[in-house]
Every structure is written in structure tokens, then in C-alpha cells.
Amino acid sequence: MKFKENNKNGVVFMTSPNINTTHAFTTRIGGVSSGIFESLNLAQRAGDDHEKVRENYSRLCSALGISIDDLVCSTQVHGTYIRVITREDCGGLLKSNSHQADGLITKTPGAALLVFTADCVPILLYDPVQNAAAAVHAGWRSTVANITGIAVQKMETEFGCSHSDIKAAIGPCISKCCFETDADVAGAVRGALPGNAEDCLTQHGSKYMVDLKEVNRILLTQAGVTDIIVSDECTSCLDNKYWSHRKTQGNRGSQAAVIVI
């Protein structure tokens, strides 16, 4: 099964067929920002006009049928901390982004978990049995530190989830075709996946092309998750549709992955 492209009042976002609750992997299409932030920029601290960013959020929330006051995000630091979200954490972006975390989990109905990306891997998890969800931001450092496996384990210990019930969607991110790295990243991948890393790596001289989607898929499988759908889109190749940090050399906005139970 493949991701589906949706267009609600001009706001374009992707959804995964195995995540049967409100969710979205946003694109850069459908907002009001201009210049290098054109148009659906969700980055709050990149230099875009604050009112335009807020209007972008309003349009996204309207498209998803949720309230902007129910959004919960965090300051992402490329770590592995998974934060448990309750109703007290809701109340808008300014309230929630003061906490550092690269993963959010919840069983609170209506809480809209949000993680930002612009080449890093966005991952949404959903357990329909316990009605629990997670949003994970996995850059290469968080990936090799197994943030996805940690999120699955946190859902099990906090909410009584079973890994066999959890469904995963790995969203658009920089793909193996464009993610060229030095040997240190390849070494970290080998350390995270002993015996399984070579399918995720292609060497070109002293450089390596790395498949972060596949690394996260394998780690999710090792955590016991079997229902996994992976986007086939590359943010760097499709920089007219997605924000790509590498393609723009950092002069860009951000997209987001959102999930609500």
C-alpha cells in the first residue's frame, strides 16, 4: 500500500492507509508564506512572519478538523527522549514547544501530536486497541540511537500497548538517492544494525549513501512492529513539494507530521 495525497481547500498533505485516525504528513503547499518560506511553512523560528505562520497552522488545522489549541510539539534536539503528553500539555504551540523531546506519545483524545522535519524522518505510530499514538522525529543520530524502538517500548510500558497492535507510517524524508554522508554515519548505522546494515548503505569512494527509511523500518521490525508502510517520496528530490534542509542549504521552512486520537 502507498501513501495517499490529499487536498483540502488547497492544503496538500499525505496520509498512510494503515493509520486509521486523523493524521497528516504535511507538504509545503497550501499556505500564505512568501519568499524562501513559500507557502505552508510551519517553522516558528526560521525568520518567517509570525502572523503568516499562524495562518498556515490555522489552514492546516481546518483541513484536518482540529483546533490549533490542541497542537502539542517540542523543541527537537536529535535525541531519544520520548515525552508523555496529557491534556495539561495542550493549549497551543507556544505553551508546548518549551520542552525538549524528539518523540511524543499520548492516550489523550484530541491531543494533536506534532513533530517537525525538513529531511529527517517523520514516523507516526498508532495502536487502535489501546487508542494510543506517537509522533517521532528521527534524524540520523536519533535513528541509530533507536528512537523508534524506544517509542514502541514507551507505548508498551506507559499505555499497555502490544507491539503487535502498533501500526507505523514512515513519512517523506531524504532518501538513499540523496543522503550522502561520511564514513562516521555509515559506521553508526552498522553499530545500530549489526548484520543488517549493508542493505541500508551504498559506498561511493569515501562517501556513503544511507537509507534512513530502511534503518528505521528494520528497527521497528526488531521492536515487534509488523504493520509498517514507508513513503516512497524523497524530500530532496521533491523540493518543490517538501522542505529540504540539504537542498536549500538551510534556507527553508519546515513541514510536520501530525497525529490525533
Q: Tell me if 207 is assigned to some domain.
A: no
Q: Based on the structure, what is the number of domains in the chain?
A: 1
List the CATH number of the domain containing 124: 3.60.140.10
How far is C-alpha 168 from the geometric centre of its chain's CA atoms? 11
**pLDDT tens digit at each of 261 positions of the chain:** 899 999 999 999 999 999 999 999 999 999 999 999 999 999 999 999 999 999 999 999 999 999 999 999 999 999 999 999 999 999 877 666 778 999 999 999 999 999 999 999 999 999 999 999 999 999 999 999 999 999 999 999 999 999 999 999 999 999 999 999 999 999 999 999 999 999 999 999 999 999 999 999 999 999 999 999 999 999 999 999 999 999 999 999 999 999 999
Q: Tell me if 210 is assigned to some domain.
A: no
Q: Tell me if 221 is assigned to some domain.
A: no
Residue-range definition of the domain harbouring residue 164 = 4-174+227-260
Q: Global pTM?
A: 0.98
Q: Tell me if 61 is assigned to some domain.
A: yes
Q: Tell me if 203 is assigned to some domain.
A: no
Torsion sign (Cα): 214, 4, 152, 225: negative
Q: Tell me if 155 is assigned to some domain.
A: yes
- 208 phi/psi in degrees, rounded to 5: -135, 140
Q: Tell me if 208 is assigned to some domain.
A: no
How high is the pLDDT of residue 61?
A: 97
Q: Tell me if 212 is assigned to some domain.
A: no
